[in-house]
Amino acid sequence: MNFSPCLDIFFSKSPFTERMRRIAELGFDHFEFWSWWDKDVPSILRSLSELKMQTAALCTRFVSLTDAAKREEYLRGLEETVQVAQQLAGVDRQPALLVHEERARGELALGQREEVALIGDQAGATLQDSADFFASLRGSHYFAPRVMGSMAEAEQALREGEVKGIVRLQADFSRRMRQPDGAPVQVIVDGVDANTARLVLGYIQGAWGSWLAAQARAQGQAFATPVDLESRVWFNSELRSRNYLVPGLVAIIMTLIGALLTALVMAREWERGTMEALLVTPVAAGEIMVGKLVPYFVLGIGGMLLSVAMARWLFGVPLVGSFWLLFATSSVFLLVALGMGLLISSVAKSQYVAGQVALITTFLPAFLLSGMIFEIGNMPAVVRAITYLFAARYFVSIVTTLFLAGDIWSVVAPNTLALALMAVIFLGLTWRRARKRLGGAPC
């Protein structure tokens, strides 16, 4: 395997051929870059020959692939890029062509400066070496560093999405820098958006390498490739997909029991004609609602307990948080699902219509828009806004947090409050609708 640094990221303030020389000094014999049309290709060819390097990849012109009006422009750019790639071809391979949309370059370069927390343990933040390294991050085009007083404060900011990563230097950073094994730099990134996490990690690694190279040159020393990357995942450290998917299935199962089954209850009563028998009895609308609600609440809680037991002991998913907190939040979510199901059944007199409406408005959103399968942060802004209308979005966030991270109140509390509000709204609308259909007068 050959590693190929992107020269549009590393040493970006130096001339391009100087970047090639510095990458070669670091021990790399392959490199890649994005745009060739703003560079001196003949001088790149001469440097390739002198440094005995090869070009691994370059980009086509940044022209949209989806705009029919730009088809000819794209094809011309592709033909020119192929010719350049042939000129830059190495002994054993031709550079790969990376095809991008017009906006892809901004996304690849992080388009905006990402918030990163800087932590220097005790005296580590005041010594010259660590101060210089932090200054190099502040001068980067890719980061907006925020110095924080403690690791706990930085971790809280990372959990709440205020920063995308943490860079931590230990108190003995300067001393260990002068030892043979070097000084470790701890980098923690938010893995919710995997693409951004990889970019942030890569840019921090590049900034670290550039700073070390500058330090070596200042001391007149040779510089070897410095980075020994060790990854550690905070939550779901085994990287098992079932640890993330199985907790989300609890929300799907409770949605099916709470919304789909109860949506058929009142509709079945109207369809079979048994509702007329209820109308002549001295039973209030609220009593009918409770009679339909309680059995399915018990059934839903039973489904939740069975799902959690299977997740824990059959699939081996750890439950880091409190079981009773999971039980309480599940009960609130189940009230929302029951309220939606009863509201649908109080409107539709046909079981078929009630079932279809319940599938479209509860099950499909719980499956597709809850964050269980597709990360909400990666969705378009309009779709992200729509997800706030569905209860499963809040409950999946709660249940995955309780299973994998623990009792993180900054996540659990606001999502539970949102579920409680939705439960009040749906149960209130159901009660008003049922009262109207059962006679129109208060019972």
Nearest to 318 by CA among 242, 373, 396: 242
When computed from its CA atoms, the radius of gyration of the chain, rounded to whole angstroms, is 29
Cα 411 from Cα 398, distance rounded (Å): 7
Q: Inform me whether the pLDDT recorded for 92 exceeds 60.
A: no
User: What's the pLDDT score for residue 129?
Assistant: 58
Instruction: Go through 42-69 and write b for each residue having 16 or more CB atoms within 10 A of its CB, e for each that does not.
Output: eebeebbeebebbbbbbbbbbbbeeeee
Look at residue 188 and give its three-state secondary structure.
Answer: strand
Q: At what angle do helices 409-437 and 285-309 cross, to 10 degrees?
A: 150
User: What's the pLDDT score for residue 276?
Assistant: 67
Between 257-271, 279-293, 392-406, the lowest mean confidence (pLDDT) is in 279-293
Query: Do residues 31 and 2 make contact, with C-beta atoms less than 8 angstroms apart?
Result: no
User: What's the pLDDT score for residue 77?
Assistant: 82
Extract the tokens encoding 3: 């590693």
The better pLDDT of the pair 192, 85 is held by: 85
| Sheet strands side by side (includes 143-147) | 143-147, 114-120, 165-169, 185-189
Between 133-142, 326-335, 402-411, the lowest mean confidence (pLDDT) is in 133-142
244 alpha-carbon distance from chain centroid: 12
In this prediction the pTM is 0.54
List the beta bridge partners of residue 54.
30
Instruction: Go through 253-290 and write b for each residue having 16 or more CB atoms within 10 A of its CB, e for each that does not.
Output: ebbbbbbbbbbbbbbbbbbeeebeeeeeeeeebeebbe
Report which residue type is found at 238: E
Strands (E), 88-224: 96-98, 114-120, 143-147, 165-169, 185-189
Report which residue type is found at 362: T
Q: Inform me whether the pLDDT recorded for 38 exceeds 70.
A: yes
User: What's the pLDDT score for residue 305?
Assistant: 92
Which of the 8 DSSP states describes residue 201? H
Extract the tokens encoding 251: 């929300």
Average pLDDT of the segment spanning 312-336: 91
Strands (E), 5-148: 30-32, 54-59, 96-98, 114-120, 143-147
* Extents of the domains making up the chain: 16-107, 112-218, 241-437
The better pLDDT of the pair 172, 261 is held by: 261
Look at residue 98 and give its three-state secondary structure.
Answer: strand
- Name the residue with tokens 């439960």: 423
Cα 208 from Cα 185, distance rounded (Å): 9
Q: What is the largest CA-CA distance in the chain?
A: 98
CATH architecture of 112-218: 3-Layer(aba) Sandwich (3.40)
pLDDT digits (tens, 9 = 90+) for 162-174: 888 888 877 777 6
Cα 51 from Cα 17, distance rounded (Å): 10
Q: Inform me whether the pLDDT recorded for 409 exceeds 70.
A: yes
List the beta bridge partners of residue 166.
117, 188
Query: Do residues 124 and 168 make contact, with C-beta atoms less than 8 angstroms apart?
Result: no
Mean pLDDT of the chain: 77
